[in-house]
Amino acid sequence: MKSIEELMAIKEKMQNKVSLRNSAGDDVRVVVGMATCGIAAGARPVLNAFVEGVSEAGLSDRVMVTQTGCIGICQYEPVVEIYEKDKEKVTYVKMNAEKAKEVIERHLKGGEPISEYTIGAATK
């Protein structure tokens, strides 16, 4: 069973890291729409794919994954917005866990947004 000792070990490790991390800040914000319509359309596995994937890819120091309520475009849910300093917002629509993994690889790691998955491509 996962123990409280393990949790305390995490605490120790993180306290040492906090001082290092302060300078990095959160350069990129991944925002997942989690209103009723988002949840119904499959936002939960998308959110969790980002949360786990960003951490596994070692991007946690510069990428923050957050939830929001209604984004206002129900028909395109699950919707994910990516905010990056000095760049235009990228809005991904009709997401799923597989696409989320691709976005982590190609956009968050590789720096190239995947235009096929964006709202621009969906409304064409």
Partner 1 sequence: MEEFSLYVLDIVMNSVRAGAENIDVSLDDRGGLLTFKVTDDGCGMTEEQLERLSDPFFTTRKTRGVGLGVPFLKMLAEQTGGDVKVSSVAASESPESHGTTLVATFHSNHIDFIPMGDIKGTFVTLIQGNPDVNFTFVHETDGGEVRLSCAELKSVLGDGIPLSSPEVLAWIRGYLAEAYEEIK
Residues 48-77, interacting with ligand FES (CB under 6 A): 70-74
- The stretch near partner 1 (CB under 8 A) out of 47-55, 88-96, 104-112, 116-124 is 47-55
The reply to whether 93 sits near ligand FES by the rule CB under 6 A is: no
Size of the site for ligand FES (CB under 6 A): 7
> Residue 84 to residues 5, 11, 16, 57, 61: CA-CA distances in angstroms?
37, 29, 27, 18, 14
The phi-psi region of residue 42 (left if phi > 0; otherwise alpha if psi is between -120 and 50; otherwise beta) is left
**Site membership for partner 1, residue 119 (CB under 8 A):** no
- CB of 24 within 8 A of CB of 62? yes
CA 116: distance to chain centroid? Answer: 18
Residue that the structure tokens 């129900």 belong to: 74
**20 is an interface residue for partner 1 by CB under 8 A:** no
Q: What is the closest distance, in whole angstroms, from the C-beta atom of residue 30 to ligand FES in the complex?
A: 17
Shortest Å, Cβ 122 to ligand FES = 14
Taking CB under 8 A as the rule, does residue 97 contact partner 1? no
Residue from 62, 77, 71 nearest 29 by CA: 62
Angle at 58 between CA 56 and CA 61, to 5 degrees: 130
Residues that bind partner 1 (CB under 8 A): 1-2, 4, 6-8, 10-11, 13-15, 18, 34-37, 39-40, 44-45, 47-48, 51-52, 54-55, 60, 65-67, 69-70, 72, 74
